[in-house]
């Protein structure tokens, strides 16, 4: 079998005139029209069955295992069908972008309105309201980058007013190794961590619940095919190793972070929890929304040769609108809708995801299917685009006033944070990432 698909190329699955016989998918504000088809893992409560791989379509989930049982994908290669019946996405991710593209095409054909005979809905669809969404993959390793120069500069200014950006920033996609075990799916409550904090006027630290609990709005990237140890990935091959993108909330305790982070970087201020959205949007689905890499100013150095590619510079960016919404406990009990704290674009990241992945493997570090790379907090240059409270409230010194008069410097117990992301471009169908949400619970 030969394939010619390039992930930035468009094909019939992107056709904006396509409609689905799943009616909710055709609504103009649905995150999951037939042009999206993101992958996730779901579980139907109470029937003793194991988790299954599904594809979001409108307010429904297409059950891939049942599709295969019914013989709807008989024309697909056996390894691909086997991977679809697993309980996690890792084996599907390991097959690489071309088989996954075949599957996308088959699912698109199956779900389109003008299909000759649609399968019995009850056999292949599960309502999202009847399903529990799980982590989509077994995440072996998690790395968090720092790829927004605006975030890095804003945070740097708070700590080093005269020298906000360190000299390595424009050469190295900075990152730290995070903790995979505490990555949880959207919807699971987050417990406020306890930890060491040393107020500036205290002589010794105390151990207590964090007072400066924050969120970080990020985009996550799931590794598809990995690389062998000792074998770097060339920048022009990098996107072949990416399965797709999701939303990430890198919860952060700023008071713990300030005391512990030197000299080795984030530790307990970050590793107590990371929330991800349950649906992984493939690079193929994102093809209509590609854009150039961030345009560096003339004073900036060019990326070193191993991080530079004409193709990546031309189309390595993603035009994704990202938002943070907050609902406090009081708003929840008053029946008030969440309020938007910020809105920004993923197109303004200093490093592309291909550069981040290439850099990660450049020393021979082996990436594995299901590994998660997160972008770092997404902030743009304009006010109102900052992706965390540390920036929005200037380390808690400028309070945010909410509609009912409540104020926030950092998160309070009972606050719910909701991340949203979507892509919209003239001539194409809008697609979305769904939500990444969680409520903050008091310390144990």
Tally Cβ neighbours within 10 Å of residue 147: 28
Number of chain residues interacting with Mn ion (CB under 5 A) = 3
Among 63, 250, 371, 416, binds Mn ion (CB under 5 A): 250
Q: How many Å is the Cα radius of gyration of the chain?
A: 22
Which x/- pattern, by CB under 5 A, does the window 116-145 give for Mn ion? ----------------------------x-
We find the least distance from the C-beta atom of residue 229 to Mn ion, in angstroms, to be: 26
Give the range of 15-23, 249-257, 341-349, 360-368 binding Mn ion by CB under 5 A.
249-257
How far, in Å, CA of 106 to CA of 304, rounded? 41
Q: Which is nearer to Mn ion, 285 or 372 (CB)?
A: 372
* E strands in 58-205: 60-63, 125-127, 131-133, 142-145, 175-177, 183-185, 190-191, 194-197
3-state SS track over 313-328: HHHCEECCEEEEEEEC
**Smallest distance from Mn ion to CB 270, Å:** 7
User: Of the residues 151, 241, 359, 360, which is catalytic?
Assistant: 151
Which of 97-105, 106-114, 243-251, 314-322 is the region at the interface with Mn ion (rule: CB under 5 A)? Answer: 243-251
Residues near 307 by beta carbon (within 8 Å), at least 6 away in sequence = 173, 235, 351, 355, 358, 359
Give the whole-angstrom CA distance, residue 283 versus residue 225.
Answer: 14
* 216 touches Mn ion by CB under 5 A: yes
Candidate segments 1-9, 107-115, 245-253, 327-335, binder of Mn ion by CB under 5 A: 245-253
> And the tokens for 281?
């949007």
Is 360 part of the annotated catalytic residue set?
no
Q: In whole angstroms, how close is the CB of 158 to Mn ion at the nearest point?
A: 15
β-bridge mates for residue 61, sequence order: 56, 126
Cα–Cα distance measured from residue 30 to residue 431, given in angstroms and rounded to the nearest whole number: 7
Q: Binding of Mn ion at residue 31 (CB under 5 A)?
A: no
269 versus 423: smaller Cβ distance to Mn ion = 269
Q: Does 255 bind Mn ion (CB under 5 A)?
A: no
Pick between residue 51 and residue 174 the one whose CB is nearest to Mn ion.
Answer: 174
- Whichever of 288 and 376 has its CB closer to Mn ion, that residue is 376
**Cβ-based neighbours of 123, under 8 Å, separated by 6 or more:** 66, 70
Between residues 54 and 266, which has the closer beta carbon with respect to Mn ion? 266
User: In the bound complex, which residue of the shown chain has the CB atom lying closest to Mn ion?
Assistant: 250
Q: Where along the sequence are the contacts to Mn ion (CB under 5 A)?
A: 144, 216, 250
Q: Which residues are known to be catalytic? A: 151
């Amino acid at each position: 079998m030969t394939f010619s698909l390039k992930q930035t190329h468009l094909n019939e699955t992107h056709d904006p005139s396509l409609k689905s016989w799943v009616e909710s998918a055709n609504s103009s504000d649905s995150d999951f029209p037939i042009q999206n088809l993101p992958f996730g893992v779901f579980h139907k409560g109470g029937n003793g069955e194991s988790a299954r791989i599904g594809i979001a379509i409108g307010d429904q989930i297409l059950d891939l295992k049942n599709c295969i049982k019914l013989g709807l994908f008989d024309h697909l290669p056996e390894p691909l069908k086997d991977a679809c019946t697993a309980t996690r996405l890792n084996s599907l991710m390991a097959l690489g972008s071309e088989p996954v593209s075949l599957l996308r095409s088959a699912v698109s054909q199956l779900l389109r309105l003008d299909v000759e005979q649609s399968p019995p809905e009850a056999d292949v669809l599960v309502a999202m309201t009847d399903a529990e969404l799980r982590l989509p993959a077994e995440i072996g390793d998690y790395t968090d980058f720092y790829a927004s120069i605006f975030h890095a500069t804003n945070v740097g200014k708070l700590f080093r007013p005269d020298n906000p950006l360190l000299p390595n920033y424009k050469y190295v996609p900075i990152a730290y190794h995070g903790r995979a075990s505490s990555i949880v799916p959207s919807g699971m409550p987050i417990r406020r961590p306890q930890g060491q904090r040393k107020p500036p006027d205290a002589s010794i630290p105390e151990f207590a619940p964090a007072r400066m609990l924050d969120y970080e709005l990020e985009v996550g990237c799931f590794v598809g095919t990995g690389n062998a140890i000792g074998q770097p990935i060339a920048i022009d091959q990098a996107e072949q190793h990416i399965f797709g993108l999701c939303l990430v909330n890198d919860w952060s305790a700023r008071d713990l972070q300030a005391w512990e982070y030197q000299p080795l970087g984030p530790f307990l201020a970050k590793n107590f929890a990371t929330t991800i959205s349950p649906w992984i949007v493939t690079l193929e689905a994102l093809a209509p929304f590609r854009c150039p890499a961030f345009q560096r100013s003339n004073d900036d150095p060019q990326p070193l040769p191993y991080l530079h590619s004409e193709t990546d510079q031309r189309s390595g960016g993603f035009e994704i609108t990202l938002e943070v919404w907050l609902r406090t406990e009081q708003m929840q009990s008053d029946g008030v809708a969440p309020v938007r704290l910020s809105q920004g674009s993923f197109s303004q990241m200093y490093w592309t995801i291909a550069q981040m992945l290439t850099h990660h493997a450049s020393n021979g570090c082996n990436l594995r299917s299901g590994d998660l790379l997160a972008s770092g907090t997404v902030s743009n240059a304009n006010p109102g685009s900052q992706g965390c409270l540390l920036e929005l409230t200037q380390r808690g010194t400028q309070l945010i006033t909410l509609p009912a008069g409540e104020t926030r410097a950092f998160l309070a117990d009972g606050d719910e944070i909701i991340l949203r992301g979507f892509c919209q471009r003239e001539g194409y169908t809008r697609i979305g990432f769904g939500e990444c949400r969680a409520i903050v619970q008091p310390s144990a």
